[in-house]
Amino acid sequence: MGSALVKRLDGKRENRIPDMHDIAQDARIFVAGHGGLVGSAILRRLEAEGFSRLLTATRGELDLRDQRAVDHWFEANRPEIVFLVAGTVGGILANSTRPAEFIYDNLMIHATVVHAAYRTGVRRLLYLGSSCIYPRHAPQPIREQDLLTGLLEPTNEPYAIAKIAGIKLCQAYRRQYGCDFISAMPTNLYGPNDNFDLESSHVLPALIRKFHDAKVEGRRSVTVWGTGAPRREFLHVDDLADACLFLARHYDEDEHVNVGTGEDLSIRALAELVRDVVAPGVALELEPTKPDGMPRKLLDVSRLHALGWRHRIGLREGVESTYAWYQTAGSSRLPAATATARS
């Protein structure tokens, strides 16, 4: 496939692979979960691209777990393209204490939206899963074909099962009904509109919050769960949004595709990086009696690279910009550490 020289939004020029699936500027595009970390990033990306008919629905307007309500909304709004990025999400603590919510909410959301998309003839749907779908002891880096080859990580098994069901749902509707539904599995995400609540957040925003609080309160140290040895990969959510639009235009296969950077670091190294950005000089104390989660989780992104997409935002740059956002907008949204993590 050839490439074309195009101008980026920042004015620079680059080679871009011609679109396999053209998405008209006036196409009706539904972002399911637009208020969360991923959905808000996709919405920003689509707006920057000039798409003029973007559809959204708040939880108050539409309960995505209710099939009748979702069917009615799809009939009334007739989206042509759907980005299914809604769900109930959270870190180790939230997964451990709310397993029923995590499996029920996500199973229902995936099922109702996919079925309504089929019923109303949606032209293309991209379902976004999670890298937690892979076995706890999967070979590293993790390939797409490693799915269902071993036992899952116990601390997030209910959530992982729901996300796996979402992949299989898209594959089943594709095979039985010919629906143009595809799936992507991102690595650990962070960025603007992340959840910084210490009871329910993921590791990177939780570290930003902890070191920020320590700096503001004048504390000399911050405690981090686990041994610090597990290794994780992190992708800025704006890069993910770019990848989602890229896949919507260029990917057309039954199997899901990994989305990540292909680079990882230890939790200890991550904590030190966040500390250096947010609160230099604050000591780091590990709490090895707390769970670590999977020993390592690095995605093999060779298929995505072969398609022509790579991430652009480095980890330190991303942490710096995320902390700047948190200082101006994020902390004001979080008066207490009791918020839930639904996006």
* CB 256, CB 129: distance < 8 Å: yes
Residue 333 has pLDDT above 80, yes or no: no
Q: What is the mean pLDDT of the chain?
A: 91
Residue 6 has pLDDT above 60, yes or no: no
pLDDT of residue 190: 97
Query: Does 173 participate in catalysis according to the annotation?
Result: no
Residue 294 has pLDDT above 90, yes or no: no
**pTM of the predicted model as reported, rounded to 2 decimal places:** 0.89
pLDDT of residue 334: 54
pLDDT of residue 107: 98
Residue 291 has pLDDT above 90, yes or no: no
* CB 33, CB 106: distance < 8 Å: no
Q: For the domain covering 4-196+233-264+297-333, report its CATH number.
A: 3.40.50.720
Mean pLDDT of 119-123: 98
Quote the DSSP letter at residue 131. Answer: G
Q: Which phi-psi region, left, alpha or beta, contains residue 317 (left: φ > 0; alpha: ψ -120 to 50)? A: alpha
Least confident span in 9-13, 113-117, 206-210, 219-223 = 9-13
Least confident span in 79-83, 117-121, 338-342 = 338-342
pLDDT band at 91 (very low <50, low <70, confident <90, very high): confident
Alpha helical stretches, state H, the chain: 37-49, 67-77, 92-97, 99-119, 157-177, 203-217, 237-250, 267-278, 302-307, 315-325
Catalytic residue among 118, 159, 190, 323: 159
Q: How many CB atoms lie within 10 A of CB 325?
A: 16
